[in-house]
Structure 1
């Protein structure tokens, strides 16, 4: 069952594709290009209940996407190269695209890397140190697995009880959405407690999930030595930093960098804010990233890269490649920048 947010996105994409308005606007709204955001790259499990499907694309689609980008005249470059254009105030000869992969999933190496190598496409991998340690929790995957196993959920969020049957895929999807958006409105402790309750009810092993889904340190160290890869930091435990006090947020950012450096021998120069929306990272976090010496930091705020971002390296926007909309036509709409010109009311920088 699609949420109203998902339905609005689909309707907007269909309107642009039908009208072709994005193509007319692109020269004004595309800017210098975009930073694309990926999470998982793996074969489609083809399950009816797949609440995290938006975070996954298939290897086949990634391959098509890279071919399409080059065919359409985009230059796939490293994050450092893109930042260099901004620093120098130079327009790239072609529209630029930067590829980024969040969290440190195992399928980055198993499925995505061979494709990236075949296309000689540089990329940045933002590593969550606690996932590599098996100490942090992939709570969104925990919750998916718990609801998959349960026939009924019964939890309390901020004093409100959410109790409902979830025997069918549709019921499970509805239960996941109800709980997800309820816990997203609260703090980190409540979020983790609610998911832990569901996981305990379903017998889900959080540590085993992290070990199955995410790269270990030896694999990350190997990736760090790859000629196409740039390793960035993505916190220790993947919390929404804006929900923490300043000292805790600073520790998450600094310790993730330092732990990655110790484990891989490479000190990350770039940071990625977990979740990364305005409720998870704002001006305080942007300032912390700068104070800690990171050269850049990316959000999940949608938007294009413009020359004005040379003064906002720690609040860079990205475009999510949504696994629920794996089409090149949808990608073209995003890369035109037209939807974000409307969404951001003409503002080029949302910092």
Structure 2
């Protein structure tokens, strides 16, 4: 939970409460119509450096769920509920597993069989056929063998560095590198892996090493005979949204045909590789539907909801969310019981009070309280309509977006890249740029994780730009309005606040400079959402969108 961490004892208590008869009645009354789909990956304790679930801990979770009378259902029942053909009791739970490694089928799947709990395994068919081993496994294998204090990879004008002195730092660097690999195009991926090989000083083996040995089709058929179901997870585990439409089509069709040919009861559903929101979209959902898939699963950490007024939609059937299965039974009960449905409303006030007392973000004491109070005053001004005029722009005269922040090394260069990718001319600059500087390293890393490259960027002052009547200056927070308006008045161009284009309007997009990579990720995700809405508005008003 953001802003508030609950003690394990409180979490255990709440998890137990929601699994009682009274707790079920309360959850059903407050939020009818939800189910949880859990996702597992690897087995723990088989290979050093491979983390996951140990069979004993998994067994305790399954026993606990059955003891508390959760409804453990097969995945096809979840699909039927998503499609509106049937309903499920609240607190229904389904289990899935992704990839098809040897340890998954040899160690974890038998636990489900012993306890009679339905399981569906999504298979990367090229892995089982011995044709390849996935790109994310290759990054994992390289980082398991890297033992220096810092990893450096050249990117454009910069050498991007990751601290790797501890096991935790290496895990964080590995996850970040995997996120970058997931965001780049399929054409760039081989070059990226080659750069990582050079940085680590080890060449990748052609065939999957011991830690990433695939399951066999004989294992698949043996488990199918015992009730385990199987479905496609694409052929090569490549990110579908980074492939051409024809490439994505081949991945989906090839894996479906292969699973059908090697099993007797293949489920016509699939799981998106990695499966976060950035890794699939309307194109991939349309392709899956057109090729005969009945549903598709993501990893967005939400519940499946079906008792809604909006009816059945492709966006629901082809983006069914899943939660990663926690290793602790109390956390599993917490999620399966439906507590996540209420967590934001229940902790929002506590989070704001915590910020007021302890500071805002990483800032503490008097400075943190001052930042927090300033933010609240701006929200009050927003509610009074003070910033409404910054949405009142004339789209018909806008030919270029000029994104403005303070130093032009984090927020505005990222916004520039996002707008350009969406097909709208854009530049960026800063109000307090004393000399030209490259983008901040943390910003480069976070942008790469979202498929944008800031490595060639050099900061530029707002006073060094030649503005035109057809420009629109988009500032990140109210502190930049005065300077931007003064410059805009010279040529009578327009000024807007980027945060005002979000669904939930806000006057400011906080500056992540000097903070953690998580802060940059949150900031950049918010900027992307705002620009999506802004560009859609501009294009629709210019007659470019139907």
TM-score (norm: length of structure 1): 0.80
Distance 1:111 1:75 in 2: 24
How do 1:1-351 and structure 2 match up within 5 A?
11=5, 17=11, 20=14, 23=18, 26-27=27-28, 28-29=30-31, 31-43=33-45, 50=49, 53=51, 56-85=52-81, 90-93=86-89, 95-152=91-148, 153-157=151-155, 160-163=158-161, 166=164, 168-199=166-197, 201-209=201-209, 212-223=212-223, 225-264=224-263, 266-308=265-307, 310-311=312-313, 312-322=316-326, 326-340=327-341
How big is the shift at 1:150? 2.7
Distance 2:87 2:263 in 1: 34
Higher relative contact order (CA 8 A, sep 6+): 1
Distance 2:176 2:285 in 1: 31
User: SS in structure 2 opposite 1:155?
Assistant: strand
Distance 1:173 1:86 in 2: 35
How big is the shift at 1:66? 0.6
Distance 2:86 2:267 in 1: 25
How big is the shift at 1:181? 4.1
Distance 1:236 1:77, change over 3 A: same
User: SS in structure 1 opposite 2:304?
Assistant: coil
Distance 2:344 2:227 in 1: 33
Distance 1:212 1:150, change over 3 A: closer
Contact map agreement 1:131 1:210 (CA 8 A) in 2: no
Q: Note the alpha carbon deviations across 1:52-101, whole angstroms, 9 max, x for none.
A: 63xx1111111011111111211212112333455565443563111111
Distance 1:99 1:126 in 2: 11
User: SS in structure 2 opposite 1:41?
Assistant: coil
Alignment coverage as a number of residue pairs: 329
User: SS in structure 1 opposite 2:105?
Assistant: helix
User: SS in structure 2 opposite 1:214?
Assistant: coil
Gaps of 5+ in 2: 346-546
CA RMSD of aligned residues (A): 3.4
Q: Note the alpha carbon deviations across 1:213-258, whole angstroms, 9 max, x for none.
A: 32123333333x3242111111011111111222211111111111
Most deviating of 163-172 and 277-286: 163-172
Most deviating of 295-304 and 258-267: 258-267
Distance 1:107 1:336 in 2: 29
Distance 1:130 1:273 in 2: 15
Gaps of 5+ in 1: 1-6, 345-351
Distance 2:13 2:73 in 1: 31
User: SS in structure 1 opposite 2:131?
Assistant: coil
User: SS in structure 2 opposite 1:219?
Assistant: helix
Contact map agreement 1:30 1:337 (CA 8 A) in 2: no
Distance 1:178 1:86 in 2: 32
